[in-house]
């Protein structure tokens, strides 16, 4: 996927004006949040599981080289061929070579954000390999010629009406808005592809170091079929997906679906270990695993290393008020929402991605819902500081923040401003609500209202109350 991160503001304006997108987002993100809240409420050990999962992921990062080495050794013992890719071009070259050597003309693919990150489909198609997405959401956007807009719900920007029209146009199917009927259409169309494909392609939710196992977590049977029906299975995964032990899975699996879709457990959890063995009814004859770095080693060595703990549940995306308003395509790359606003600058570079750390209200919700306790809000603030150090802030922004810091660091000046704001607001905003602001501030009130400042500032009220004893109030 070609990054278009620089155009976030322009993309957002288009998204806010897109009524169909607003309908699609309102139908889905709210449901995810409700389901997550219910799932967490029914799981009293949720916070304890978060602590454990955070420790597991931290342990994996602290000893990543050793865990990777063990994973490679164990996977090779069980028949896998393991490849290392430094970046996207090398990953594409390896994948194309595998397809050529294995005589692949048709590949079926399960949803994989890492494959989107490196542009895998385009590389294989350029070499004459037909790649068919088999996740329903990915199948929809492949027909539409669009990138995914969410890491767990790639077609979240589509309404059922959109999908109905798409199937009618691209597949010649009768128009229907019944979701089960649309699902049956996709299933029927994909069935022959599963049985005809020479290669299946998937990502990996986790890589277990002690067994060399690849773990896939899906809600559709397509992932399991991709991994077992074709004679060749190719896995592409970031090096950060490694976990120390197979025994670490239960705690991670207790959090991933609850955080993602509000399910207690995903419909399918597949632990894939090695190639097909004698007596096995199914499984690939050849298993290729591509381990991708693409900047992750550099991230691991820096101050943002905890972002690599991410298990791609999408909880931070679902809860983010910015994502809820503009959707995923506005972010201009594979990973949207708060996690993408950290990952994109680290992988693509801050000059290329500077709008994203600012695409946040810093409400802190993303940090509160993260199942592995990544301090995303703090990282976004830190990245804004990096922008300043790299000279990426405009002179107006720098001057404005200097003025703000000067006021906030001087109690007397701050109190004077508060008094003036109280007097002005009492004169201008009769209903105690700010619906407009002039000049440079108009962008703040164009789409939101604010409560007007109180007639008396907090400091004055505090001084008045400070001398009153609690039992006399």
Q: What is the pLDDT of residue 254?
A: 96
The percentage of residues in the chain with a pLDDT greater than 70, rounded to a whole number, is 95
The answer to whether residues 210 and 260 touch, using CB atoms and an 8 Å cutoff, is no
Is residue 354 located within the same domain as residue 406?
no
65, 67, 70, 75 alpha-carbon torsion, rounded to 10°: -110
Cα–Cα distance, 53 to 306 (Å, whole number) = 13
Task: Enumerate residues 6+ apart whose C-beta is below 8 A from 277.
Answer: 283
Per-residue pLDDT, averaged over 293-302, amounts to 97
Domain-embedded: residue 307: no
CA distance 241 to 292: 10
- Which structure tokens are listed for 278? 């004698």
199, β-bridge pairs = 107, 232
Residues 345 and 448 in one domain: no
Last residue of a domain, one of 364, 389, 414: 389
Q: Which of 385, 209, 206 minimizes the C-alpha distance to 310?
A: 206
Q: 295-324: string of b/e by CB count within 10 Å (b at 16+)?
A: bbeebbeeebbbbbbbbbbbbbbbbbebbb
Residue 56 lies in a domain: yes
The alpha carbon of residue 371 and the mean position of all alpha carbons in its chain are separated, in whole angstroms, by: 13
212, 97: one domain: yes
Q: What confidence tens digit (pLDDT) does each residue in 89-118 have? A: 999 999 999 999 999 999 999 999 999 999
Residue in the block written with tokens 């957002």: 12
Q: What are phi and psi of 156, to 5 degrees?
A: -60, -20
Tell whether 203 and 105 lie within a shared domain: yes
- Count of domains observed in the chain: 3
Query: 471 pLDDT band (50/70/90 cuts)?
Result: very low
How far is the CA of 364 from the CAs of 2, 92, 152, 370, in angstroms? 29, 37, 21, 10
140: CATH: 3.40.50.10420
With a CB cutoff of 8 Å and minimum separation 6, the contacts of 299 are: 305, 307, 308, 346, 347
Q: Output the pLDDT for position 27.
A: 83
Query: b or e along 167-176 (b: 16 or more beta carbons within 10 Å of the residue's beta carbon)?
Result: beeeeebeeb
Task: Note whether residue 70 is domain-resident.
Answer: yes
Mean pLDDT on 343-358: 95
- 387-398-320-382 Cα dihedral, nearest 10 degrees: 40
Residues 383, 432 share a domain: no
Residues 42 and 148 in one domain: yes
**Residue 282 resides in a domain:** yes
Which CA distances in Å does 173 have to 83, 84, 157, 158, 222?
A: 42, 43, 21, 18, 22
C-alpha 32 chain-centroid distance:
14
pLDDT value for 400 = 83
Whether 226 and 366 map to the same domain: the answer is no
Domain assignment present for residue 304? The answer is no
Whether residues 339 and 268 fall in one domain: no
Instruction: Give me the torsion for CA of 413, 418, 423, 428, rounded to 10°.
Output: 120
What confidence score (pLDDT) does residue 403 get? 86
373, 135, 319, 442 alpha-carbon torsion, rounded to 10° = 130
CA distances from 302 to 297, 305, 308, 363 (A): 9, 6, 11, 25
pTM, full prediction: 0.89
Residues 71 and 148 in one domain: yes
Residue 308 in any domain: the answer is no
- 178 burial via Cβ count (<10 Å: 0-12, 13-18, 19+): exposed
What's the CA gap between 192 and 169, in Å, rounded? 21
pLDDT digits (tens, 9 = 90+) for 374-396: 999 999 999 999 999 999 888 88
Higher pLDDT, 222 or 400: 222
Sign of CA dihedral 26, 44, 336, 209: negative
Is 200 part of any domain?
yes
pLDDT at 472 over 50: no
Q: Of 389, 408, 424, which residue is a domain's last?
A: 389
Domain that holds residue 326: 313-389
Higher pLDDT, 437 or 152: 152
> How high does pLDDT run on average in the chain?
92
- Are residues 275 and 325 both part of a single domain? no
Contact residues for 120 (Cβ-Cβ < 8 A; gap 6+): 91, 92, 95, 112, 131, 201, 236
In a shared domain, residues 173 and 34: yes
Domain stops at, among 389, 410, 431:
389
Q: Within this chain, do residues 156 and 209 fall inside the same structural domain, yes or no?
A: yes
Is 394 inside a domain boundary? no
pLDDT at 442 over 90: no
């Amino acid at each position: 996927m070609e990054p278009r991160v620089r155009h976030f503001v322009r993309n957002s304006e288009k998204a806010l004006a897109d009524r169909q997108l607003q309908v699609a987002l309102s139908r889905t993100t709210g449901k995810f949040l409700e389901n997550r809240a219910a799932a967490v409420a029914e799981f009293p050990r949720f916070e304890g599981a978060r602590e454990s999962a955070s420790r597991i992921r931290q342990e994996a990062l602290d000893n990543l080289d050793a865990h990777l080495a063990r994973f490679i050794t164990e996977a090779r013992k069980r028949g896998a061929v393991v490849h290392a890719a430094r970046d996207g071009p090398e990953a594409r070259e390896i994948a194309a070579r595998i397809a050529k050597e294995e005589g692949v003309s048709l590949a079926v693919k399960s949803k994989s954000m890492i494959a989107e990150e490196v542009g895998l489909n385009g590389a294989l198609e350029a070499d004459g390999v037909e790649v068919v997405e088999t996740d329903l959401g990915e199948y929809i956007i492949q027909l539409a010629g669009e990138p995914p807009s969410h890491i767990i719900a790639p077609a979240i920007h589509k309404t059922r009406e959109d999908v109905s029209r798409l199937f009618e146009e691209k597949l010649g199917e009768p128009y229907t808005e019944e979701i089960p009927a649309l699902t049956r259409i996709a299933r029927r169309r994909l069935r022959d592809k599963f049985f005809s494909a020479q290669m299946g392609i998937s990502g990996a939710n986790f890589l277990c170091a002690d067994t060399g196992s690849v773990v896939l977590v899906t809600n559709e049977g397509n992932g399991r079929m991709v991994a077992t029906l074709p004679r060749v299975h190719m896995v592409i995964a970031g090096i950060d997906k490694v976990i120390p032990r197979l025994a670490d899975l239960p705690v991670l699996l207790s959090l991933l679906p609850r955080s993602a879709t509000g399910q207690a457990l995903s419909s399918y959890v597949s632990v894939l270990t090695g190639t097909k063995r004698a007596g096995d009814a199914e499984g690939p004859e050849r298993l290729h695993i591509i381990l991708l770095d693409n900047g992750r080693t550099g991230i691991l060595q820096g101050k943002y290393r905890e972002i690599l703990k991410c298990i791609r549940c999408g909880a931070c995306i679902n809860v983010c008020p910015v994502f809820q308003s503009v959707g995923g395509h506005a972010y201009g790359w594979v990973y949207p929402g708060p996690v993408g606003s950290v990952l994109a600058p680290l992988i693509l570079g801050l000059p290329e991605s500077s709008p994203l750390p600012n695409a946040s209200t810093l409400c802190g919700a993303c940090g509160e819902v993260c199942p592995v306790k990544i301090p995303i809000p703090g990282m976004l603030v830190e990245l804004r500081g990096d922008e300043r150090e790299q000279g990426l802030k405009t002179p107006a922004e720098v001057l404005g923040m200097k003025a703000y810091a000067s006021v906030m660091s001087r109690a007397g000046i701050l109190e004077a401003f508060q008094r003036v704001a109280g007097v002005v607001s009492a004169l201008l905003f009769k209903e105690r609500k700010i619906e407009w602001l002039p000049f440079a501030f108009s962008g703040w009130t164009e789409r939101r209202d604010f409560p007007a400042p109180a007639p008396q500032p907090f400091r004055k009220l505090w001084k008045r109350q400070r001398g009153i004893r609690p039992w006399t109030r």
